[in-house]
Structure 1
């Protein structure tokens, strides 16, 4: 601002020029520019640009051979009966003999290894079977087959029915068995050779299992417990915004009977505020002594300094079991939720007011400099006793000046400054209010293998973005937004739509998945397409085995295959859908043409579909330490095409487990440091502008008085 020299003896007020008043507001256009950037940044900061690996690279994963199709289940009279599992009520030292049947639905004979194993809960709550190399230590030792691990030859399926073998076994309860529920499985396993992402040979263990539940006589009690409840709070940069809490705890079945569990998490504040956590899917079955680590994120928490998180678990009786009158658990822990942004803003405003007051007092009370020229040895002349009167200032009928600290701001200038200040405040409020919404659209996980999007089409050839989970098929066409890579665009090319279950803190290659459509031959390599039929799964069929674990989200991938080439499962188009109740909706839809080509299901029956599907190469079950019970997806599809109702029941009970080697990838996420910087600059701009206006206002009042 230009320096103003104040004469001592001559009262002179001049009108302020534009240069006198614009410099304190130089931050205004800068703040407006940064606000505009803040509208865009939250979206672009979290955007993920896929970097798929070229198809022809040496590190592309090799697929395993196609899956065989076989089922397992309880048997009576040489055939699979209508029992859904083996279930016994026995006393200590008791024995019981039964039979298990294994059936081959494929057109080629197969040799399987059959053995007993322990059944346990995995870290995500599903039932799992240890790897074949792990010997049983608990209930699995109670199951006595003809040999601990025997090889069974199954003939090929014919028009008369599937190839079948019925094996006897005995359950022997030890004398010191504890009362309550015990669980095991009988596993049928097929081991084949495959390739890992480095091109090395690995063994692919394709397994199915039937469950065995034994309740030993004695006192039973059902209890749930909550352990290691912890919470961390993440505040908002918006002084009036809400924060979020990340809650972790361990759900434990502390009783001696298997139970289900319903869970609820919410947060209450010291001033009566309340934030309800997301709906947590019911835990269908938790074995005695099993633990389930849980992670819940609660949004829209009003920071009230001291908050409490409440976790409530309610036991559920497992279908078919007597009611054990189980007890649930409730646990509460307190945590700090301090509104630092609001506190900082209030403190800054107070400091600004105090600083303005002190500066005003300093300027008012500072000593008056002597009049006259400085230096040169010339003394200033004393004022005359009779100075001439100062001429009166001319009145201005058009502009009403205001005297402010030796400067005059006209009414139009004051109006412009007021409008600019109001615009800055409004733009800042909009920027803060929309930044959270923009970032909320980002997915909570990253899959670096995604090469493009997928569009979903109805039977009439129109693109759809929502539907009902019970629709069969799920959709009629799935179309890729990117063309087939070289080598996969040749004659005989095929595409298969596969659904995956995103899992917390698990890389995308290790998610669980299953096919939703048959392998389909498509016509247009520029738009690979998978076709569905009424024999294919509904989305509810998939959810029944793999319930959503991350905000109700599922991922759909389009796997491509071609003659002479392995199924392409290292680079694929994908789309994410969110399941809410009985409906689903696409999260980030892409635009495709549903009529740019066509596709025909290459299998007329679910049996052929399962054996020809590239699902064997899915990297989803890439856990060499433990097999995953995926619940009978492939076998149940095979049973739909079988003429035998007993075979259908058997296949519906089978558990498909695949074990393969995986690879690691690095996930990236957008940082928020620039958003904080923008917010800080905007706040500084508001404080500077407000302080300048307040100083001018107080000076004007002083001048008028």
Structure 2
């Protein structure tokens, strides 16, 4: 991916892969010229068409990968090369720790040149050596490699980074499981007695295993006579969870009638992210909670109906007594005339 922005615009410091993209955006504008560049996975000969670098190595293993840094500007540029740990943002997108923060996991296993100077319009293939420690824990250790450029605007120094994601997996005993926690449910009823209410559920899904997972979440609510379900394909599905990572969701289940206890169950059904792993069982997790929904509008309607019924009966009794009184008076008048 290539990003071009005119000079004078303050660029964000970001290493971002929206979806499983490998090229992370972040333009820069040094001196008096626009500078754009790309970083993509490569082999020793140049870009190889991959979007990310996937590695699976045993503890103590080593491999040399490559990334291609492409200078798309009209002048030579010296880029800083950096490797660091990767993580997922609160929205589920891949990012990297800042370059001034020392890596502590997969990023610390990567060795790259400190700088590279690339002629205008040229491409440089940069070796990326990944050395797994002998005592590395099995599972996924996300990392990334970036090419960066610093600009100075007044008293502000801005670092712009473009990079490639590395999915480093250490072989061993893989564990694929999720945990659901922090389940809270709140019922919101309608003042219209003929309209059901809504159950708002907040919950957190965490990756309690050691490999990357994608969790498909569902929320079920049931009352004495009804059952409703919710699934959110945009927010709660197909969102990657790193080992040890978690995401919090808010679901709104409509169509719940206020009939006393409303039992709400959150079901997280995980699947493996990336390549399939033989003989790894993935189990779903479920946690339930109960919220009380009292039928105040319906009770109010019943009270109104009962009051209306007795009012009608009282009015009918009064009318009947009045008619009987009129009949009595009419009979007495005829008796007096006779």
Q: In the alignment, which residue of structure 2 is the partner of 1:122?
A: 89
Match of residue 166, structure 1, among 108, 125, 128: 125
Distance in 2 (alpha carbons) for counterparts of 1:246 and 1:108: 56
Higher helix fraction (1 or 2): 1
Q: Counterpart in 2 of 1:468?
A: none
The counterpart of 1:178, out of the listed 110, 127, 137, is 137
* Structure-2 residue corresponding to 1:344: 300
- Which aligned pairs between 1:295-306 and structure 2 lie closer than 5 A? 295-306=250-261
Q: CA deviation at 1:694?
A: 6.0
Q: Distance in 2 between matches of 1:704 and 1:306?
A: 51
Q: Is the 8 A contact 2:44 2:125 kept in 1?
A: no
Give the whole-Å Cα distance in 2 for the aligned partners of 1:203 and 1:239. 61
Report Cα offsets for 1:333-368 as digits up to 9, x if no partner: 111122222223333554x46xx96xxxxxxxxxxx
Paired position in structure 2 for 1:614:
none
Are 2:20 and 1:64 aligned?
A: no
Q: 1:138 to 1:319 in 2, by over 3 A?
A: closer
Q: 1:215 to 1:270 in 2, by over 3 A?
A: same
Over 3 Å counting, the alpha-carbon distance change for 1:63 and 1:349 in structure 2 is farther
Q: Deviations over 1:580-629 (max 9, x none)?
A: xxxxxxxxxxxxxxxxxxxxxxxxxxxxxxxxxxxxxxxxxxxxxxxxxx
Query: What residue number does 2:16 align with?
Result: none
Q: Distance in 2 between matches of 1:205 and 1:266?
A: 46
- Is 1:331 matched up with 2:284? no
Partner of 1:635: none
Of 104, 115, 119, the residue aligned with 1:151 is 115
Q: Within 1, Cα distance between the matches of 2:323 and 2:266? A: 63
Computing the radius of gyration from Cα coordinates, the structure with the larger value is 1
In structure 2, relative to structure 1, the CA distance for the partners of 1:697 and 1:113 (3 Å cut) is farther
Correspondent of 1:697 among 309, 312, 316: 316
Residues 554-588 of structure 1 deviation map (CA, whole Å, 9 limit, x = unaligned): xxxxxxxxxxxxxxxxxxxxxxxxxxxxxxxxxxx
Tell whether 2:156 aligns with 1:192: no
User: Is the Cα contact below 8 Å between 2:214 and 2:271 reproduced in 1?
Assistant: yes
1:51 counterpart residue number: none
- Provide structure 1 residue ranges, at least 5 long, that are not aligned to the other structure: 1-61, 158-162, 195-199, 358-690
What SS is found at the alignment partner of 1:75?
A: strand
CA shift at 1:169, angstroms? 2.8
What SS class does the counterpart of residue 175 from structure 1 fall into?
A: coil
Q: Show structure 2 runs of 5+ residues with no match.
A: 1-7, 12-26, 29-34, 325-338
1:227 partnered with 2:189: no
Shift of 1:76: 1.8
Residues 190, 270 of structure 1: CA spacing in aligned structure 2 closer, same or farther, 3 A cutoff? farther
Q: Match of 1:95? A: 62
Higher relative contact order, structure no. (Cα contacts within 8 Å, ≥ 6 residues apart): 1
Offset of 1:227 from its aligned partner?
1.2
How high is the TM-score relative to the length of structure 1?
0.39
Q: Secondary structure at the match of 1:119?
A: strand
- 1:457-606 superposed matches below 5 A: none
Q: Is the 8 A contact 2:217 2:231 kept in 1?
A: no
Q: How far 1:251 moved relative to its partner? A: 0.9
Q: How does 1:411-430 map to 2 (within 5 A)?
A: none
The alignment status of 1:287 with 2:236, answered yes or no, reads: no
* Separation in structure 2 between the aligned mates of residue 295 and residue 249 of structure 1, nearest angstrom: 7
Query: Which deviations, in whole Å up to 9, do the C-alpha atoms of 1:31-88 show, x marking residues without a partner?
Result: xxxxxxxxxxxxxxxxxxxxxxxxxxxxxxx953675432212222331123332222
- 1:186 CA displacement: 0.5
How big is the shift at 1:114? 1.5
**Deviation of 1:107 (Å):** 3.5
Under a length normalisation based on structure 2, what TM-score does the superposition of the two structures give? 0.78
Specify whether residues 140 and 345 from structure 1 end up closer, same or farther in structure 2 by C-alpha distance, changes over 3 A only.
same
Q: Distance in 2 between matches of 1:237 and 1:107?
A: 67
Name which of 204, 210, 219 aligns with 1:250: 204
The CA distance in 1 between the partners of 2:229 and 2:274, in whole Å, is 29
The CA RMSD measured in Å over matched residues stands at: 2.6
